[in-house]
Structure 1
Amino acid sequence: MFCFLLFQGCFGQEEQSRMSCNTPDQPTVNVVCCDYEMCNKNITPTLRTDSDPTFAVDNELTQLVIYAVSPIGALIILAAAAILIARFMHKRRLQRYGYQRDVERGGVHVGDMHAYPAGDNTLQDLVDQSSGSGSGLPFLVQRTVARQITLVEQIGKGRYGEVWRGQWQGENVAVKIFNSRDEKSWFRETEIYNTVLLRHENILGFIASDMTSRNSCTQLWLITHYHEYGSLYDFLQRTTLDAHRMMKLACSIAGGLVHLHVEIFGTQGKPAIAHRDLKSKNILVKSNGQCCIADLGLAVMHSQATDTLDLGSNPRVGTKRYMAPELLEEIMNYECFDSYKRVDVYALGLVLWEVARRCTSGGIAEEYKPPYYDVVPSDPSYEDMRKVVVEGQQRPSIPNRWSSDQTLTAMAKLMRECWYHNPAARLTALRVKKTLNKLQASLEKMKELKQDV
């Protein structure tokens, strides 16, 4: 190794002398100091080499420190980048459901950032002030409403999270609080409920959706109309029905499903929507005796104009007890939207069976039970359901007493046509609705004739 003498001489300042002479030896520079007259005349500095044991140890220590610190530093940088990207994507997704939609609908004026005021308005006033498209409130109003809600009492709990009764300016609302792991369901429901022309008397009324922070914890809120009777599942366990109440419930459920399934064309149209998790726990009973369909977290949308199928990104699957045979057999055509509608109709048939069992005839009504209660466990597995529904091709049993009641006999025939093993043989939701409406009209006519007599 060659060595060149770069500088030689005396220091002009004591401070500079101390700093330079205390410089540690380095692979390429070596400082040698002495403190008597003309002492540096014949000094020849010698560089330390890799073979120098002391230098080798120092070098190894330096490399060890670099090797130890570098991965940690890289991980910190990657984690920071991931957090920034996640926050950016999250904002983009919120914009997708909110602000951009409001600008397109005219709910927000970009110039002065004006949104419809909440003020002393009722919820119905706010809905009426919206664009009239039948979708949700403008996004900024949704956030205003959400942050003015007081949670009163918990009224439900499930795998998705919790449901609370809340109050907004004295009005009751339902607040569905999603678990953080079920964020995709919250996004999907927000997206579906904000779909143009989705508002319908038999679809749960959507008010607002917001991501809020409570007790230093991020919560995902979905705020809807409140129905004190709760789910159809709970309602049927405590209530028996006469034929008229049964038909009112059944017709409204079918009406809600038809509205989801149908595509409405036009500039402010609506895509066709399949529910994918229809069951009595996802249907609410209103004070007027009708039902409304809720929980659209698994819904799939289809547009004929573009022939696109929007499945969303939710990995959740429907409830096993209500799964159609083609799902259990894993032979369903997932690329065809009609397949999803036929799955809904199968589940509708099971819900109609639940309702009809609670209808009194001859002073008798069956105790409430879920479908297949007598052949599978309370929490059935795929295999349990597959053996019964696919291999055994069993369906819920029809009580003998139904055969002596004209309305229940017609209901039994209708539900059998909903749960055919062959999906293509099942009725459409529209045909089910029309048949139920005809049955209801016959009942009303019979009631009028009896009153006349």
Structure 2
Amino acid sequence: MLRRANGYFDFQPMTPHSEQQQQLPPFGKGFQTIERHVDEGLQFETEETLNAMIKADIVTLCQERGLPSEGDKKDLVKNLMNWKNAKPVPGPTTPQLCSVEPVVSVQKKPLNTFHLNSLLIDANFHGEITYDQLKIGRKLGSGGFKDCYAGTYNGENVAIGELRVQNFTELDITEMKHEINVLKQLRHENIVRFVGVCTSVRHLCIVTELCENGDLYDYMRKIRKPSFGRLISYMHDIALATSYMHSRKPSIIHRDLKSMNILITTDNQAKINDFGLARIRTRANASMHTQCGTPNWQAPEFWSPNPRYTEKVDVYACGLIFWEILSWAELGYPYYNLTEHQLYEAVRDKEVRPPMEKLRKYPQSLLSLIQDMWRKDPKKRPSMSYVVDRLAEYLQ
């Protein structure tokens, strides 16, 4: 599988590692309900303090106690207050972890530095940075054709991806140039900000804002699963950025959304990265016709000799990313156990989707939204603006 090293512009095999959380046993059938008890988690909560919380945190409190998590916030608070006065608290359970298979990247015919620079720079290019303006810091990662560093530019912390020219092709530089042209048009707090490009004879670098926590794929495998409210916040960030791209005139389709292309900042914002495959859709009724992206997150309409698709391919991919976020990598990545041929057959022909059984503790309305996002028929998938509104309900 293709991915970017630590979320920063690269291709390399993936071998994730994750610590399994301790599974707590549920209460047995012989548990006796008592008339009153002390729920330490709610002992000092009142209707007023509960109503001051966001709905996502209220949902979590309900889930921890085996209470219904659907409905209005007011009803959920009422259920919690009734529970506080009467019922015992069940223990939570945790699903098991799954493994991930690494995939090797493809070797390409190299170019020389001079030709690379001539391809990248033209009369319309702006944002060039000289190498002496960059201060290179610690290494973030490396892979097929790029080493990635934290650094500074004009006093700002940035991510610096320096290309290894001997492993770079004309096709790669064309993709990079296109990515720059797309990034220059995008200004959104949940999209990685493009800073500039260094094109010295010996150094070819792309410079963006720094997201210290790296990409979401790795982050989920390093950090203990956060609160439901934080999970919703990540999903909402991704939905906001995608909705922004789709609502532009003309709209932009990312075409390669996946957890490796979502970066996490130190203040826990999620930001979309890697616009090398993004395309501008010039007319609202136009369909795109080029195959691209990573198969595990690709919508089924990609998989034909002459594919036709719209912005709804991004909606499909976001649905898979949201499933990853809710499972927090405990269920692997989408279709991790299928070969490419098996994936096409299962997903396109048999409409197989990632398993939802171990996510049933979450509100059914949220799970239904995700399932709508990855429907086979693109016309039945919701718009990302609709997804934004549904997720926002949990943050109020």
* TM-score, scaled relative to structure 2: 0.64
Q: Separation in 2 of the partners of 1:151 and 1:177?
A: 10
Q: Separation in 1 of the partners of 2:231 and 2:278?
A: 27
Question: Equivalences for 1:259-298 in 2 at 5 Å?
Answer: 259-264=244-249, 271-298=250-277
- Which AA in structure 1 matches 2:241? G
- Alpha-carbon distance, 1:404 to partner: 3.6
Q: Separation in 1 of the partners of 2:140 and 2:175?
A: 20
Question: Equivalences for 1:147-166 in 2 at 5 Å?
Answer: 147-159=132-144, 161-166=146-151
Question: Equivalences for 1:374-393 in 2 at 5 Å?
Answer: 375-376=337-338, 380-381=339-340, 383-393=341-351
1:354–1:96 CA distance, 2 compared to 1 (3 A): farther
Deviation readout 1:168-194 (Å, 9 max, x if unpaired): 355421012345211112111111112
Q: Separation in 2 of the partners of 1:329 and 1:309?
A: 14
- 1:243 corresponds in structure 2 to 228
1:368–1:166 CA distance, 2 compared to 1 (3 A): farther
- Alpha-carbon distance, 1:316 to partner: 8.3
Greater relative contact order, per chain length (Cα 8 Å cut-off, separation 6+): 2
Give the alignment partner of residue 210 of structure 1, picking from 193, 198, 206. 198
1:302 to 2:281 alignment: yes
Question: Equivalences for 1:331-370 in 2 at 5 Å?
Answer: 332-333=307-308, 339-358=309-328, 367=330, 369-370=332-333
- Alpha-carbon distance, 1:163 to partner: 2.1
- Alpha-carbon distance, 1:201 to partner: 0.1
Question: Equivalences for 1:45-444 in 2 at 5 Å?
Answer: 91=118, 94-98=121-125, 139=127, 142-144=128-130, 146-159=131-144, 161-178=146-163, 179-181=167-169, 182-195=172-185, 198-214=186-202, 219-239=203-223, 240-264=225-249, 271-304=250-283, 317-330=292-305, 332-333=307-308, 339-358=309-328, 367=330, 369-373=332-336, 375-376=337-338, 380-381=339-340, 383-400=341-358, 402-406=359-363, 409-441=364-396
Q: Which runs of 5+ in 1 are unaligned?
A: 1-82, 99-137, 265-270, 334-338, 359-365, 442-453
1:151–1:328 CA distance, 2 compared to 1 (3 A): same
- Which AA in structure 2 matches 1:372? Y
Residue 291 of structure 2 contacts residue 303 of structure 2 at CA under 8 Å; is this kept in 1?
Answer: no
SS at match of 1:191: helix
Which has the greater radius of gyration?
Answer: 1
- 1:12 corresponds in structure 2 to none
- Alpha-carbon distance, 1:158 to partner: 4.1
- Which AA in structure 1 matches 2:213? Y
Q: Separation in 1 of the partners of 2:315 and 2:222?
A: 26
Residue 180 of structure 1 contacts residue 220 of structure 1 at CA under 8 Å; is this kept in 2?
Answer: no
- Alpha-carbon distance, 1:317 to partner: 2.6
1:423–1:332 CA distance, 2 compared to 1 (3 A): farther
Residue 231 of structure 1 contacts residue 280 of structure 1 at CA under 8 Å; is this kept in 2?
Answer: yes
Q: Separation in 2 of the partners of 1:308 and 1:324?
A: 17
- Alpha-carbon distance, 1:247 to partner: 1.0
Q: Separation in 2 of the partners of 1:176 and 1:310?
A: 30
- Alpha-carbon distance, 1:151 to partner: 2.3
Please identify which structure carries the higher helix content.
1
Count of residue correspondences: 278
- Alpha-carbon distance, 1:433 to partner: 1.2
SS at match of 1:208: strand
1:96–1:399 CA distance, 2 compared to 1 (3 A): farther
CA RMSD for the aligned pairs? Answer: 2.8
Q: Separation in 1 of the partners of 2:280 and 2:191?
A: 16
Q: Which runs of 5+ in 2 are unaligned?
A: 1-110
Q: Separation in 1 of the partners of 2:393 and 2:271?
A: 20
SS at match of 1:199: coil
Q: Separation in 2 of the partners of 1:397 and 1:236?
A: 18
